[in-house]
Amino acid sequence: MPGRDTIFALSSGAVPAGVAVIRLSGEGTRFALETMCGTCPAPRRASVRELRRPADGSVLDRALMLWFPGPASFTGEDVAEFHCHGGRAVVSAVLEVLGSLPGCRPAEAGEFTRRAFDNDRMDLLEVEGLADLIAAETEAQRRLAMSQAGGALAAVYDGWRGRLTRARALVEAEFDFADEEDVPDDVSALVWEEVARLREEIAGHLARSRRAERLRSGVQVVLLGAPNAGKSSLLNALARRDVAIVTEEAGTTRDVIEVHMDLDGYPVTLVDTAGLREAAGLVEREGIRRALARAEDADLVLWLVAPETDPSSGESSPPPHATTALWRVETKADTGTGWPAAAAGERDFRLSVRSGEGVDALLAALATFAAQHVGGVDEPLAARERHRRHLEDCLAALGEALAECRSLEIRAEDLRRAGESLGRIAGRVGVEDLLDVIFREFCIGK
């Protein structure tokens, strides 16, 4: 887009570092290169240049320069990169000189990627995939983000949208161009079977995509139990660091504490919560309310019970709410006591944080649970609520389009809404592609 400022930013992270990468994008990029380096390097070839201060010609640094003329660049504009030495003074001096050049200013957060989207170098799905790739903390998250950033998910939605566009073109051709000899009679009857098949594909994709959404956020494992059941101690043991305060005083944990872990490449969020009891204090009651709320949304609840707890008491029974899965864990196995033999069969794990007994077995089980819960996401799947919402809108429109009691014109409008919902996922909403299909396939007006 002409007339926009040339932006620059440090793209390689915090200094000091071995190398610092400073990126520029915009119409003034070539001017900045020639002003600071004397000449513009050959496109897409690394060249060593002296970076000089324009005011007095003093050398700021010897740097590796890269020059990418638009539109064949990340942003679609002229782009350059300065690979400087990563000292604070060097980076500060280069940024100061760039900021003094006419039309140059520091980039805002995400502005390089925004320009790539504005210039059709990336669609919304690729933009989101790039953000997820940068934020990925586990191998499974990296694979999912890489698939989306590489355009695999956009290709799936573009394929579905193309099929919808063709179906709508065939339906509209029947009532718009029925007098043309190139349009077969009752052509719309041929498309509804394809629309029904497409609806099944999208519904299956949406159902499988719930695993991908959880993969982005992490499998939620909530620790529940009575006060002093060993929840905070177990959290510290699993995290292998002191995260929660552990004391003999009941009610020490008042708020929710989260720890993010990487278990065999899968993200798991451990959630420590307030002990469940009849609390008198307002703060502790709020902590218990939050604990129960997190348990409702959990993928797995670990119900912890200390050995001294009577298995027949209320403190040994988890709260009566639906959870995806619940494991009963007997804690403090090192004390020498334990559940009565009659109740021992009810526990899933027995462990001691102090001695380490059973902790590794629980970790291995959690890793297996995470893999089974979000595994099999190598296919492109919708990973965000925004994707799911538009897919649900698409399915609703397709369901209405398949209702034979509605007029053909209304059903064609339903197909348009379904295609628009798909187009909104990647930011590709328009009507010109529909007109192209109609005139190309039926040679209207020849």
Measure the CA–CA gap between 307 and 305, rounded to whole angstroms: 6
- What's the average pLDDT block by block, 10 residues per block, for the chain (446 residues)? 79 89 94 93 93 93 95 94 95 95 90 86 85 85 87 91 88 65 60 91 91 85 84 84 52 67 88 70 67 82 79 59 76 69 63 88 92 78 88 94 85 90 78 38 32
Q: What is the pLDDT of residues 278-308, one digit of tens each?
A: 655 666 666 676 777 788 888 899 988 887 6
Q: Structural domains in the chain?
A: 6-115 (3.30.1360.120), 152-213+382-442 (1.20.120.430), 221-374 (3.40.50.300)
Phi, psi of 13 (to 5 degrees): 100, -170
Instruction: Check if the beta carbon of residue 119 is closer than 8 Å to that of residue 76.
Output: yes
State pLDDT tens for residues 361-374: 999 999 999 988 88
Segment holding 104, helix H or strand E: strand 104-106
Question: Of 269, 289, 264, 294, whose CA–CA distance to 277 is shortest?
Answer: 289
Average pLDDT score over the chain: 81
Cα separations in angstroms, 258 against 187, 200, 439? 58, 38, 58
How far apart, in whole angstroms, are the C-alpha atoms of residue 60 and residue 51? 5
Q: What is the length of the chain? A: 446
| Alpha-carbon gap, residue 36 to 57, rounded angstroms | 9
Question: 326-330 and 349-350 as β-strands: parallel, antiparallel, unpaired?
Answer: parallel
Residue at token pair 């566009």:
165
* Distance from C-alpha of 253 to C-alpha of 247, rounded to nearest angstrom: 9
